[in-house]
Amino acid sequence: MVFEPFSSGTSWLHQRDGRVKVVLALLFSLLLSLLASWPVALLGLGLALGLVLLARLPLRQVLARLAMVNVFILLLWLTLPLVGEADLELGPLAVNQRGLEMALLITLKSNAIVLLLLALVATSSLAVLGQALQLLLVPEKFCLLLLYTYRYIFVLTKEFDRLRRAATLRGFVPTTSLHTYRTYGNMIGMTLVRGWRRGQRVQQAMVLRGFTGRYHGLTVTDLGRADLLLLTMGLAGLFFITGLELRAGGTW
Amino acid sequence: MKDSIIELRDISYHHPGGEELLKGVNLQLGQGRVGLVGANGSGKTTLFNIVMGLSQPASGALLLDGARVESRDQWRQLRRHVGYLFQDADDQLFSPTVIEDVAFGPLNLGATPGEARQRAMTTLSGLGLDHLAHRVTHHLSGGEKKLVSLATILVMEPRLLLLDEPSNNLDPASRESLMAILKVIPLPYLLISHDFDFLQETCDIIYSLTGGGLEEGATAQLHSHAHIHLHGDRPHAHGHD
């Protein structure tokens, strides 16, 4: 799908159960976000990179995703080292060492979490993730919202584009004026009305095909040996990193 | 008519606060290929919605295999036997990929993922659509969407089909494909269309919904009806003259 460029691979990680991957992604993300020691965060980044390699994800696209995240992190590098008392000289620049370490730590942790999510979550299609969340007892309504918002966001975008094109063909040029705001308001309102109508029709189509409120995915729901192996290795990794962090004097 | 699957008895319907759209409609469905014509807003789609239990008639009864359909379970049962192809395929295809959409019905009916996948693939192959199985539904062309929509209802193994303007917005090639499929489908159906050539090719009998009631129409009569719509009483030339 358009937003799922990483989900269609055939790697070992792609074939693992969605539940295991979601649980590990959640636990690792939580652990990584709590790390206070940069060497351990570096290890976490290495682990996440290893998973990306295991998933055989296209590196250019992975780097593009990382670049987006690091644009925001760059702002931290431009501010954190300059806040507080300058106690370290880097050539002509005097910076705050604690701020510098903080920026480094945040960079390592953020990149590790993004890589981890790409390797564990983005390697499953949204249908698989929806089914996995449902099996993990996440409320069914939430899972269905996730699945169908994703499907129909494209249809609604198309509807809005159609309205915008119709307005343009009738000479509408957006400016900073009340007329423009009113026109956009009308177009958004009409898109919502059409979306609501379509929602009704889709619900009818689902009911006519036996839908009773529960989404049944096509993926097999039994955990295989390889899934259990991934889970065991993942939990072992979690305990290992936690142990290292505690030895390094983590403050949590 | 003998052996009817669905029977409509004296069905009347009006929009809330509006005028009466259907007036005492009687119809038996279950044998043969039946066409339905009528002006826009005459109540054709509403009639389909009533058959499927999506709209409630003001009066009248609906029977499945001779038994009145009233309870939720009975409606569920009816929907297992009757497949409804919507006018707009985007309303019908809601799963991310074609195979997931086609397998949706069997999964809801209790099939295992393996069985549902198998049934979906068999149905798609039967319609010559197996190459679309892993395509993203919203990336399909209009014709492909329509045929995949048909697959989503055929996979449920219905006994009767309701087809709402299936040839609408199709290019000639897709229209031909659909026509060829309908000619060989061994199922009775009721088909709404404004395309008289399509109706003539795909239906044995054609009804017209006029003034809230059903009238059986001969093909020649319907053609002249179409001409009146298209040309009024103005003089016009025929292509074969």
Task: Indicate whether this complex's ipTM tops 0.95.
Answer: no
Which of B 119-158 lie inside 8 A of A, CB atoms? Answer: 136-138, 152-153, 156
d(CA A87, CA A67): 30
Considering only CB atoms, A208 lies closest to which of B84, B95, B109, namely B84
Nearest to B90 among A150, A155, A210 (CB): A155
Residue in chain A closest to B118 (alpha carbons) equals: A218
Q: Are B191 and B45 in contact (CB under 8 A)?
A: no
Provide the pLDDT for residue A166. 85
Instruction: Specify the pLDDT at position B1.
Output: 47
- pLDDT of amino acid B232: 55
| pLDDT score recorded for residue B231 | 55
From residue A132, alpha-carbon distances to A18, A23, A43, A190, B208 in Å are 5, 10, 28, 35, 50
Does the beta-carbon distance from A152 to B107 stay under 8 Å? no
Average confidence (pLDDT) over B189-210: 92
For the stretch B160-188, pLDDT in tens is: 999 999 998 888 988 999 999 999 999 99
| E strand residue ranges, chain A | 88-90, 93-95
Residues on chain A touching B103 (C-beta within 8 angstroms) = 218
Task: Determine the pLDDT at residue B241.
Answer: 36
CA-nearest of B113, B150, B110 to B128 is B150
- Residue pair A202/A211 in contact by the 8 Å Cβ criterion: no
pLDDT score, position B223: 58
Q: Please, what is the average pLDDT of chain B?
A: 87
| Contacts with B162 from chain A: Cβ below 8 Å | none
**Is there a contact between A35 and A105 (Cβ–Cβ < 8 Å)?**
yes
Whole-number pLDDT of residue A181: 93
Tens of pLDDT, residue by residue over B46-59, are 999 999 999 999 99
Query: Under an 8 A CB cutoff, do B95 and A204 touch?
Result: no
B109 has a chain A CB within 8 A of its CB: yes
Report the residue from A125, A127, A208 with minimal CB separation from B79.
A208
Residue B144 · residue B177 · CB < 8 Å: no
Which of A151, A211, A218 faces B103 most closely, judged by CB atoms?
A: A218
pLDDT at A152: 80
Strand-by-strand arrangement of the B67-68 sheet: B20-29, B6-14, B59-64, B67-68
Place of tokens 């807003």: B41
pLDDT of residue B226: 57
Greater confidence, A51 or B17?
A51
The low-confidence residues of chain A, meaning pLDDT below 50, are 1
pLDDT band at B224 (very low <50, low <70, confident <90, very high): low
% of chain B residues with pLDDT over 90: 57
Does pLDDT of B220 surpass 70? no
Please list, in sequence order, all residues whose beta carbon lies within 8 angstroms of the beta carbon of residue B117, skipping any fewer than 6 positions away: A218, B99, B103
Backbone φ/ψ region at B40: left (φ over 0), alpha (ψ -120 to 50), beta = beta
A222 touches chain B (CB under 8 A): no
* Interatomic CA distance for residues A98 and A190, integer angstroms: 53
What pLDDT is attached to residue B239? 43
Structure tokens at A22: 């979601």
If you average pLDDT over residues B215-223, what whole number do you get? 64
Q: Tell which residue, B143, B188, B148, B187, has the closest CA to residue B169.
A: B143
Give the pLDDT band of residue B230 (cuts 50, 70, 90): low
Cα separation of B107 and B98, whole Å?
14
| Residue B152 banded pLDDT, cuts 50, 70, 90 | very high
Residue A99 DSSP SS3: helix
Task: Count the neighbouring beta carbons within 10 Å of the beta carbon of residue B102.
Answer: 33
CB contact under 8 A, A211 and B104: yes
Interatomic CA distance for residues A138 and B51, integer angstroms: 36
Residues of chain A contacting residue B113, judged by C-beta atoms under 8 Å apart? 216-221
